Amino acid sequence: MITGTPKPIEEIMEMLEPYDNIVLAGCHGCVTVCRVGGEKEVQVLASTLRLAREAAGRTINIREVSLERQCDPEYVEQMRPYVTDYQAVLSIACGAGIQFLAEKFTTTPLLPGINTGFLGVTERQGEWSERCQGCGDCVLHLTGGICPVTRCAKSLFHGPCGGSVQGICEVDKETKCGWQLIIDRLVALNQMENYGKLKPYKGWNSSRDGGPRRIIREDMI
């Protein structure tokens, strides 16, 4: 899922300073699962903002909505009938959702209520960690299902660097060396021959290096 963290309330209050009548839009997708931008978070943030504003002597009207997904046009369009009745939209979806709303509603300012994080997994309630950087050229079949691009701090492709000590990355003591994990896993799977199958170099043209990416599936159009 796409993860995120709430922006500090002070930062949101500052963004909302020019506005008294807004939409607060959540999303039922990833941000609901990581408990940063779903229906419940909309309710809590709306109450928090109303209380904070009123305590400061100025009220704010907030329309609370939660779309199925802010990254799909059919759901975004559900806001069109009323969005121009409001001065701004505060979205607590991921950066993709917020930008999609901004593209669709060109005359209404869009404000981000969260900081979008990474593509990750839930370790336990309240803890998420990164697993994928969307490089566009997956090699997980050769690396025991552990991504060298994401799990190695340097995104190395041919084994650990000198900063790997007893399975721990030099970046910080909480981070396991991605390559140690890969080797251990390949050994356990009896697949060490895969280590030698890795490409001599990785082409990054399918990653972010080529600018904003698009996927066009002719079979689906």
- Provide the minimum distance between the beta carbon of 206 and other proteins in the complex, in angstroms, as a whole number: 41
Task: Mark 29-58 with x for binding to other proteins (rule: CB under 8 A) and - for no binding.
Answer: -----------x--xx--xx-xxx-xx-x-
- Provide the minimum distance between the beta carbon of 90 and other proteins in the complex, in angstroms, as a whole number: 16
Residue 208, helix vs strand vs coil: helix
Cβ-based nearer residue to other proteins, 35 or 158 = 35
Contact between residue 111 and residue 16 where contact means Cβ atoms under 8 Å apart: yes
Task: Mark 6-25 with x for binding to other proteins (rule: CB under 8 A) and - for no binding.
Answer: ---xx---------------
| Cα 76 from Cα 57, distance rounded (Å) | 33
| Cα 29 from Cα 48, distance rounded (Å) | 23
| Cα 54 from Cα 75, distance rounded (Å) | 32
| Cα 137 from Cα 153, distance rounded (Å) | 18
138 lines the binding site for other proteins (CB under 8 A): no
Chain residues 144-163 in contact with other proteins, contact rule CB under 8 A: none
Cβ-based nearer residue to other proteins, 76 or 92 = 92
Cβ-based nearer residue to other proteins, 59 or 84 = 59
Task: Mark 81-120 with x for binding to other proteins (rule: CB under 8 A) and - for no binding.
Answer: ----------------------------------------
220 lines the binding site for other proteins (CB under 8 A): no
DSSP state of 165: B
Cβ-based nearer residue to other proteins, 43 or 175 = 43
Contact between residue 90 and residue 23 where contact means Cβ atoms under 8 Å apart: yes
| Longest Cα separation, the chain | 68
H or E stretch including 182? helix 178-189
Tokens, residue 150 = 């994401």
Cβ-based nearer residue to other proteins, 26 or 144 = 26
| CA Rg value for the chain | 22
Binding site for other proteins (CB under 8 A): 9-10, 40, 43-44, 47-48, 50-52, 54-55, 57
